[in-house]
């Protein structure tokens, strides 16, 4: 990953009870990047072991002093999720400094085969170019992978680019309000339809309200407001979403402008207003009041509703963005 030297090893060994164990190891010079790689490995293991009920595995960090001393599998280990800035090894009697550097932005681009998004990956790279910190782009990804990624590395911001109006597999009778979910995708491009309330909870667990680092979630997809409010209620302090369907190119422009302003250390409400202005100030050749020139290309309104502009051509209905925040 990047310029860091990483090594992935798989070893089979016999256990004392006559069974065999498969060990997966990742080694390299950057723990931050190793965490990301291990998250991918764990996600693959989840997919494989789902066909073998009862098979268990966990992710552990081995003491580097123990490894250098030749202890091998007898090295002191800690659960990956429980790592702190410094841990004490009772075998080496050494304090192990552990890098828990923050991932600035995690991006999921989910473009299902049944309804592909032409601009999703371009949007992700444009947004990533505005960030100075570590950015991870996942071109496709399941809800399970999101959970593993958030577990693997402290993450400050999350951007979902894709369909946010996928059908929820959960019965919507009674008080179940989330009839739509984020359209995560499997490796083959199929839609990964899971309980949206569980997804909101996964993001909430990673939030600052629950001891994590996640402070911003951007759901850049159609009709994502109900999901956005569920994510906010789960503990994420700031959520950006859409109250209506959104025009793809306008959504791409909105996301880039928002993160450009965030990179300049503006507060999220200012970023939101700036991103709206960026969309509204895009023009195209046209006529208004008998004068030829440039007229707005986009208008922030619900598709299918009347325009407030008197110009030709009529501005495209870009959709209505929503900022949910406690600030």
pLDDT at 35 over 70: no
Torsion sign (Cα): 205, 210, 216, 222: positive
Domain topology for 103-278+320-325: Rossmann fold (3.40.50)
Tell me: pLDDT of 37 over 70: no
The mean per-residue pLDDT over the stretch 68-72 comes to 82
pLDDT for the residue 49: 66
Query: pTM for this one?
Result: 0.75
- Rounded CA Rg of the chain: 23
Q: What is the pLDDT of residues 140-179, one digit of tens each?
A: 889 998 998 898 788 999 999 999 988 888 765 555 567 8
- Using alpha carbons only, give the angle 225, 278, 284 rounded to the nearest 5 degrees: 115
pLDDT, average across residues 231-253: 97
Q: Is the pLDDT of residue 187 over 60?
A: yes
The residue ranges of every structural domain in the chain are 1-14+21-42, 103-278+320-325, 283-317
SS3 138: strand
Q: How far apart are CA 227 and CA 205, in angstroms?
A: 16
Q: Does the pLDDT at position 303 exceed 90?
A: yes
pLDDT-derived band at 10 (thresholds 50, 70, 90) equals low
């Amino acid at each position: 990953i990047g310029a860091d030297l990483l090594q992935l090893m798989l070893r089979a060994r016999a256990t004392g009870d006559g069974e065999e164990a498969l060990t997966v190891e990742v080694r390299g010079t950057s723990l931050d990047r190793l965490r990301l790689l291990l998250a991918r490995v764990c996600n693959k293991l989840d997919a494989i072991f789902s066909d073998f009920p009862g098979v268990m595995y966990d992710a552990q960090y081995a003491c580097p002093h123990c490894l250098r001393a030749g202890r091998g599998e007898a090295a002191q280990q800690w659960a990956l999720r429980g790592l702190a800035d410094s841990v004490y090894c009772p075998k080496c009697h050494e304090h192990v400094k552990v890098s828990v550097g923050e991932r600035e932005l995690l991006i999921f681009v989910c473009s299902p085969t049944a309804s592909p998004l032409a601009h999703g990956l371009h949007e992700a790279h444009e947004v990533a170019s505005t960030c100075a910190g570590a950015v991870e782009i996942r071109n496709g990804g399941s809800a399970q992978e999101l959970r593993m990624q958030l577990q693997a590395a402290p993450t400050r911001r999350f951007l979902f680019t894709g369909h946010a109006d996928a059908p929820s597999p959960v019965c919507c009778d009674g008080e179940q309000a989330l009839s739509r979910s984020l359209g995560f995708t499997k490796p083959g491009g199929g839609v990964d339809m899971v309980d949206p309330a569980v997804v909101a909870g996964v993001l909430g667990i990673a939030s600052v309200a629950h001891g994590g680092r996640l402070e911003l979630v951007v759901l850049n997809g159609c009709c994502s407001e109900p999901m956005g409010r569920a994510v906010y209620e789960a503990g994420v302090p700031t959520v950006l979403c859409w109250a209506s369907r959104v025009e793809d190119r306008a959504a791409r422009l909105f996301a880039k402008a928002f993160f450009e302003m965030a990179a300049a250390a503006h507060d999220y409400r200012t970023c939101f207003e700036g991103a709206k202005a960026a969309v509204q100030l895009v023009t195209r050749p046209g006529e208004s009041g008998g004068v030829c020139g440039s007229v707005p290309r986009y208008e922030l309104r619900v598709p299918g509703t009347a325009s407030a502009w008197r110009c030709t051509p009529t501005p495209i209905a870009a959709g209505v963005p929503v900022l949910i925040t406690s600030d």
